[in-house]
Structure 1
Amino acid sequence: MSHEEQTDLRVRRTHKFLQEAMVELINEKGFEAITVGDIAERAMINRATFYRHYQDKYDLVAKIFEETVNYLVEKLLPIHKDKNSATQNTPEIWVQFFEHVAEHDRLYRAMLGKNGSPWFADRMREYTIKILLESQKQLKQQIAPSQPIDPIMPSELPVTQLSYVLIGTIVWWLESEKRYTPLQMATWFHRFAFYGYLAVLGYEVQVPRMQAVR
């Protein structure tokens, strides 16, 4: 094993220990009461090591979500080059996302649950909105909308709505003890995100022509 591989392995191991320590402490005393010292002590590392990897406890939990989203978006963006595949291939991206949630279910359950922090849900929504707006911008450059966009509607409104649906879906899934698979959740979320509430319920919905709301 090369020196770089050994270093990468140590970094990943440290991240794993810190994340596990964070989850245990959240379940024991709640996110707001936790200090960096608590996390470092539980993970059996010193504070200096913690700060080499993360700025603070907020940075630790945010990075878990953001790094995964960044990875998935990098895989998603090339799909936008093909108009037909933009919706057809997206479910696989969402499958991977819900697999990530399942893999880190203790963290998300702790952070989004009653002992968690409203800050984390807000951070997830804000970052999701940021990524979706960037993706939306690139998509428009490659695929022209099939009908006019309401000029009055703020561009951030649809992605804000979608971010709330995503967080709500994750919370519901975790509270239901993950009785459904990541594939099922990805499929249902994708149907709602791309085709809307009535389509998810099984109704045939024809997208109406946009008319500006005055």
Structure 2
Amino acid sequence: MKFTDIRYLRTEKLIFDAFAKLLSEKPYEKITVQDIADEAMINRATFYAHYADKDDLQQGIQKQVLQQMSDMIDAAQIATGERVKVKRAEKLLTEFYHGLERNSAISKIVLRSISQEVMQENFGRLMHEKYDHLLEKLNVTESGEQVPTEFIVAYLTSIFSGTLFWWIKSNFSMPAKELARLVLTLISNGHLTVMGVIIDRED
């Protein structure tokens, strides 16, 4: 890595940390670029070399988290046909949680500037992108009526986003590995099997 790359990444961290601290003190709407620059101890020109404005910063962080989520639920790694590899999914989810824990500033920005509803919608889109081949085969019925696929996606994504926001709010009170195991246990013990998804618990 070049020195300029290291310096760029160091400045990124200063901006993220400053933004996270400011979000703990006042609403997003009241934060200015000057506030972020002052808190990060950089000048405005340096900030603008990284982001067009605070909205661009927020969107950049959202994209970064979404990319991590996309990598985490990569269908090629955890699903084959109608079979889901739970142990592999647990490993990837643990890595995702560890990443958020290591970058706590990003996690706090997600918590304070992105609503749980938006996170759930974004995760739902990723579910469709990665698992449409699996979702379209689901045939869940209740009292003879078919349960809409969108309802199932909303239900699963609400579990993921709800527990994620709880974990960040609790200041990562539960170890990442334990959280991943618990979330997947809740989902796989009944929720996926009732949908006709085959659960593979082998390594």
TM-score greater than 0.5 by the shorter chain: yes
Q: Which residue identity is paired with 1:96? A: E
Q: Which residue of 2 aligns with 1:73?
A: 70
Residues 197-208 of structure 1 correspond to what in structure 2 (within 5 A)?
207=194
Partner Cα distance (2:122, 2:61) in 1: 12
Backbone CA RMSD of aligned residues: 3.3
Q: 1:91 offset after TM fit, Å? A: 0.7
Q: Which residue of 1 aligns with 2:139?
A: 148
Distance 1:208 1:163, change over 3 A: closer
Residues 82-101 of structure 1 correspond to what in structure 2 (within 5 A)?
82-83=80-81, 84=83, 86-101=85-100
Residues 182-201 of structure 1 correspond to what in structure 2 (within 5 A)?
182-196=176-190
Of the structure 1 ranges 36-45 and 16-25, higher mean CA displacement relative to structure 2 is found in: 36-45
Q: Which runs of 4+ in 1 moved over 4 A?
A: 149-154
Partner Cα distance (1:162, 1:85) in 2: 14
Is the contact made by 2:139 and 2:195 (CA closer than 8 Å) also made in structure 1? no
Deviations 1:88-128 (A, max 9, x none): 3111111012112322335534653xxx34x4433322321
Deviations 1:33-92 (A, max 9, x none): 111221122223333432332343233234334324324533623215635563331111
**Which residue of 120, 123, 127 maps to 1:128?**
123
Q: Which residue of 1 aligns with 2:199?
A: none
Distance 1:81 1:160, change over 3 A: closer
Deviations 1:188-211 (A, max 9, x none): 1112233357x9xxxxxx6277xx
Q: Which residue of 2 aligns with 1:171?
A: 165
Structure with the higher strand share, 1 or 2: 2
Query: Which of 1 and 2 has higher RCO (CA within 8 Å, sep 6+)?
Result: 2
Q: Which residue of 2 aligns with 1:27?
A: 24
Partner Cα distance (1:190, 1:91) in 2: 7
Name the SS for the 1:132 alignment partner.
helix
Distance 1:163 1:82, change over 3 A: closer
Distance 1:126 1:33, change over 3 A: same
Partner Cα distance (2:146, 2:51) in 1: 41
Q: Which residue identity is paired with 1:136? A: Y
Distance 1:53 1:181, change over 3 A: same
Name the SS for the 1:179 alignment partner.
coil
Name the SS for the 2:85 alignment partner.
helix
**TM-score, structure 1 as length reference:** 0.71
Distance 1:79 1:7, change over 3 A: same
**TM-score, structure 2 as length reference:** 0.74
Is the contact made by 1:109 and 1:171 (CA closer than 8 Å) also made in structure 2? no
% same residue: 27
For this pair of structures, how many residues does the alignment match?
Answer: 192
